[in-house]
Amino acid sequence: AIALAGCSRDAGKQVGQVTVGFSQVGAESEWRTANTASVKSALVAPGFDLKFSDAQQKQENQIKALRSFIAQRVDVIAFSPVVESGWEPVLREAKAAGIPVVLTDRAVKVSDASLYASLIGSDFIEEGRKAGRWLLQDSTGKPGPIRVVELQGTVGSAPAIDRMKGFHEVIDTDPRFKLVRSQSGDFTRAKGKEVMEAFLKAEGGHIDVLFAHNDDMAIGAIQAIEEAGLTPGKDIRIVSIDGVRGAFEAMKAGKLNATIECNPLFGAQLAQLIRDVHAGKPVPKRIVVEEGVFTQDQAAAALPGRKY
Ligand code: AHR
């Protein structure tokens, strides 16, 4: 069952408060935990009445939550869509009810852009390109073939589709790189480990590089690599995305080579966006959050300052 907090309409609502229905993807990664904390700290605050729902990585749960928010006639709906497709009917229902929708973190594929007011989150294609550029640079002078495996995020999700696109756009320009395996690890550590074990078995350990669409899958894969008697970060170079503390710890230990930052801490920006949308002010259709690239040599110095 999905958890819905604060269900009755206007229960405990104060004058001037904006009632927000927020549907989160789940709790699949360190990144997601940090994102939920950031959103809650900004919206469990004076001026807002937050109804939070956890979709446990299932689109059907998210659609149910959105319909429940519409039935409760919240002022604004915000959600991070698990996957890109299949949103049109429920978004039309929200529009017909006069409830504006703000997308957070992930995009949707719809034929009518007026079905949502704005999308705040990262540029996932650029994150994939950054991972590819790091790999090109780190491979200077290395002979081919360089055998690459890829751990994809959730099938059909915007970050999985876009990171794959951006990464391949860069590495496909260099004939030394050979993608030998690519499969989803659903953005979780457990799945990342399981799929990496299968890759290692199938390739007889002949893997030079792992590109993981998030740090959690990379951390799971590191365990699989060690259990196979190989040295992560050396025998197999690893680049992943998010920049969570666990990734910095792995880089400090020499087990992960680089992480591309994906910033989950946009709660305060989201709160302002929701206020503006509710007030009927014009808002940008797309707000891209700022992020960087970190390598092993920067890990020890950067770790104490990491906020997620
Ligand atoms: O949509 C952002 C992605 O979702 C993060 O990179 C990943 O860790 C999370 O599960």
How far is the C-alpha of 4 from the C-alpha of 6, rounded, in Å? Answer: 7
Ligand 1 centre and the CA of 268: distance in Å?
Answer: 19
Q: What digits encode the pLDDT tens for the residues 77-115?
A: 999 999 999 999 999 999 999 999 999 999 999 999 999
The number of angstroms, rounded, from the C-alpha of 75 to the middle of its chain's C-alpha atoms is 26
Ligand 1 site, CB within 6 A: 28-29, 31-32, 105-106, 159, 187, 214, 216, 241-242, 262
3 state DSSP class of 142: coil
| Residue among 23, 24, 25, 124 to mutate when testing ligand 1 (max atoms within 8 A of CB) | 25
Ligand 1 centre and the CA of 85: distance in Å?
Answer: 17
Where b means 16+ CB within 10 Å and e means fewer, 29-46 reads bbbbebbbebbeebbeee
Ligand 1 atom closest to Cα of residue 26: 10
**64: part of which helix (H) or strand (E)?**
helix 59-71
The number of angstroms, rounded, from the C-alpha of 121 to the middle of its chain's C-alpha atoms is 9
pTM: 0.94
Structure confidence at residue 217 (pLDDT): 98
| Residue among 211, 242, 260 to mutate when testing ligand 1 (max atoms within 8 A of CB) | 242
Q: Any idea which residue has 């390598």 for tokens?
A: 295
Structure confidence at residue 2 (pLDDT): 46
Ligand 1 atom closest to Cα of residue 159: 1
Structure confidence at residue 290 (pLDDT): 85
| Crossing angle between the packed helical segments 215-227 and 245-252, to the nearest 10 degrees | 40
Q: Which residues of the chain have pLDDT under 70?
A: 1-13
Ligand 1 centre and the CA of 260: distance in Å?
Answer: 12
Pick the closest to residue 241 from 216, 224, 222 (CA basis): 216
Ligand 1 atom closest to Cα of residue 157: 1
Pick the closest to residue 262 from 148, 158, 150 (CA basis): 158
Q: CA separation (Å) from 186 to 8, 110, 111, 154, 213?
A: 34, 23, 27, 4, 9
Which residues touch 31 (CB under 8 Å, ≥6 apart)? 214, 215, 216, 242, 244, 262, 264, 308
Structure confidence at residue 6 (pLDDT): 42
Pick the closest to residue 289 from 106, 157, 165 (CA basis): 106
Structure confidence at residue 12 (pLDDT): 57
3 state DSSP class of 245: helix
Ligand 1 centre and the CA of 244: distance in Å?
Answer: 11
